[in-house]
Structure 1
Amino acid sequence: MCEESTPEEVYHLLDDKYARTILTSTDTTAKSAKELSEACDASLPTIYRRTERLIDCGLLEEQTELEGDGHHYSVYKARLKRLTVELENDELKLTIEEREPETMADRFTRIWEEL
């Protein structure tokens, strides 16, 4: 979780059905905003707002995909691996375990294989 995000912000964000659908939709496969819009049955501005908040909280990452004609677009992939909420000393404690981000070498290999 980003150090700037409070547990309350994460709780509030995860209370949003669009944010949850974005995370579950991008668990195994990176998806474009258009694909997320269809999965969530939401407008593109709604998707962009949610993805921005999820990225700010460290739960989602943005990657760039290249098309054969040289154009590029963003896709989103969940970074959240595990979220734990524990009750400890009369307080809720939030722990977020993130996936390791894709390295530049991994990204190059993935792009090369797609060509």
Structure 2
Amino acid sequence: MVRDPLSGDDSPDLQSVLDALDDADCRTIIRHFDEPMTATEVSEKCDIPMSTTYRKLDLLTDASLLVEGTEIRPGGHHATRYELDFETVSVGVTDTQELEVSIDRPARTADERLASLWGEVRKET
């Protein structure tokens, strides 16, 4: 499921977040993010096969831990770039003894929010 960046709902699915954080390859990918990267760059930097890299990037994106953006390149061959979309992840217990997850996100500029929205629109078409 694609997260709507304009909805204001930053409550990701608990199970999606736990599944992503429980995955060793996903944790490796997170550790290597110091700047936005393409899937190819992630694969090379983390020494993970491309087919696995795409699955792990999808898992992290579905868990709202990564955000996709589009890098506009001359000639029309655009690239998807991935970027960490959290500063901290917290799992806690509610008053009714239910587990909940909250994610603190970095502040985004208007350009970054627009790029994120464009990436979401592109996925839907």
Same-fold call, TM > 0.5?
yes
Which whole-Å deviations, capped at 9, do the CAs of 1:68-115 have from their partners, x for residues lacking one? 44422111000011112335666544221122445337878xxxxxxx
The 3 A distance-change label for structure 1 pair 106 and 4 is closer
- Given that 2:86 and 2:104 are in contact with CA atoms closer than 8 Å, whether structure 1 keeps it comes out as yes
2:39 aligned residue: 33
Which of 19, 22, 29 aligns to 1:15? It is 22
Aligned residues: 106
1:112 aligned residue: none
Q: How does 1:35-114 map to 2 (within 5 A)?
A: 35-86=41-92, 92-104=99-111
- Given that 1:30 and 1:76 are in contact with CA atoms closer than 8 Å, whether structure 2 keeps it comes out as yes
The 3 A distance-change label for structure 1 pair 91 and 107 is closer
- Given that 1:23 and 1:78 are in contact with CA atoms closer than 8 Å, whether structure 2 keeps it comes out as yes
Q: Greater relative contact order: 1 or 2 (C-alpha under 8 angstroms, separation 6 or more)?
A: 2
The structure whose residues are more often strand, as a share, is 1
Alignment partner of 1:80: what SS?
Answer: coil
Q: CA RMSD in A?
A: 2.9
CA distance in structure 1 between the aligned counterparts of 2:24 and 2:18, rounded to whole angstroms: 12
The structure number with the bigger radius of gyration is 1
Choose 75-84 or 58-67, whichever is displaced more.
58-67
Percent identical across equivalent pairs?
29
| TM-score of the aligned structures, taking structure 1 as reference length | 0.71
The 3 A distance-change label for structure 1 pair 86 and 51 is same
- Stretches of structure 1 that go unaligned for 5 or more consecutive residues are 109-115
2:6 aligned residue: none
